Structure 1
Amino acid sequence: MASIIKNRAIVNDDWTLVRPAEDGSLPAVNELPAGKIIVPLAFWQAERDALSASRGAAELGVWLAPDSEPADIAGDFDKLAVIAVDFPVFRDGRGYSIGRLLRERYGYKGELRAIGDVLRDQVRLMLRCGFDAFAVRADKDISDAIKAFDDFTVQYQGAFDEPAPLFRRRAASASSSAASQKVSA
C-alpha cells in the first residue's frame, strides 16, 4: 500500500486514483475498483448519480486538473470525502490557486490532496494554500518530504494557514503587550 502525508504525518493511502487510459477512456461505473476511489472531475460530472448510488460519500473523491474550475464542484462537497488537485509537472502552479479557491472562496472543509508531480520543495507552499494531504511522487522519499514543514518558522505573507501577514501579527502583539502593561500599572 502506498503512503501519503496527511495532516503532517505519514499514513497509508487507502484511496485508488482513477486516471484515464492512454486513449483517454475511463472504465464504466460498474468496472471501477472496489473501495475508496478518486475520479476525474469530468467523470464525476457525467456519472454523479451512478457513482453516488454505488458508493457512499465516504468512499468517493474527485480530482481536478490544472484547468478545472473549482466552482464546478462547489455544490457537491457533501457528496465527497476527498478533493484532489493534480500537479502534472513541477512548473505548473495553477493547482495552488485551485486549493486557495476551494478553501477560501467556496469554504471546502474536507481533505484537500495534492497529487501528481508533488515534491518536497512544494509541500510547505501547498500547505499554506490549504492542502492537508500530499501524495509525494513515487520516486521521491516521503520521509524527506515531510521535513519540509519545518524548514521555516516564520511566514511573512498571509495565506490560508495564517491569514495575517507578519507586520499585522507583530502590530497586534505590540498593542496587546501595551494594553497589558497599562492594566498592570
Structure 2
Amino acid sequence: MTADPHLSARLDRVAEKLAVAARRPGKSVMFGASAHRFELGPPLPQTEVAAFEREHGVSLPEDYRAFITVIGHGGPGRWGGAGPYYGLHSLQDWATSLWGMPDSNTLSKPFPAEPGRVYSDWPTDVAPGDDDEPYTGTLALSDQGCGYLSILVVSGPARSRVTDNSDTSTGPTFTNDADFLGWYERWLDAVLDGATYFR
C-alpha cells in the first residue's frame, strides 16, 4: 500500500467503487465501457515503475504511481483497462499522445501549458519547429476517440493535472480535478450515477 493514510483511503474508496461498477447488472451505458468491461490488469511491481522513472528522469505523481502499483494497470481492452472513455493506457503506451518520437528527456522536460493559460496559437507558440514536441512532460492516459486523448502532466507547473491533447489555438483544456485520482473517481461516480458520457 502507501505510507500516506489519506492516499490509502482514497485508493480504497476508488477500488470499492470500481468493484461496484464491475458488478452492476446489465450493460453499462457509459461510453467506452464495452471496450474495457471495468477490468484492469494486475498492478505493476514497484521495481518496474522505479525503473521506468529512472529511465525517463521523472517521479510519477504519487497518486498515479499508487494506482498502477496497488489497484491495477492496463487491461483487456484494445486501448487498456477500466477507465474513462476507451480505458486507461498501460504505462508502456505513455508516448501515444506525442507528435513525434520520444527521446530520453521527453518526460522530464516540463509541459508548458497550465490551467488558466491561454495561447494565441497553440501549439506553434511552444513548438515552433517541425521537430518540436508540444506534449513534453506528459503521458497518455485514455483514448477519447477521434484522435483525442486525456493526458497526465508529470513534469512542469501543472504536474499531477489531467488535460487533453487539444488542437484548439488557445491550448489544452484542463479538468477541474486536482490530480489523477480525482479525475478517475469522478468518472466512477458518473458511471455509478448512470451517466452515458464523461467529460
TM over 0.5: no
- Give me the TM-score of the superposition, normalised by structure 1: 0.25
More helix by share: 1
Larger Rg: 1
- Give me the TM-score of the superposition, normalised by structure 2: 0.24
More strand by share: 1
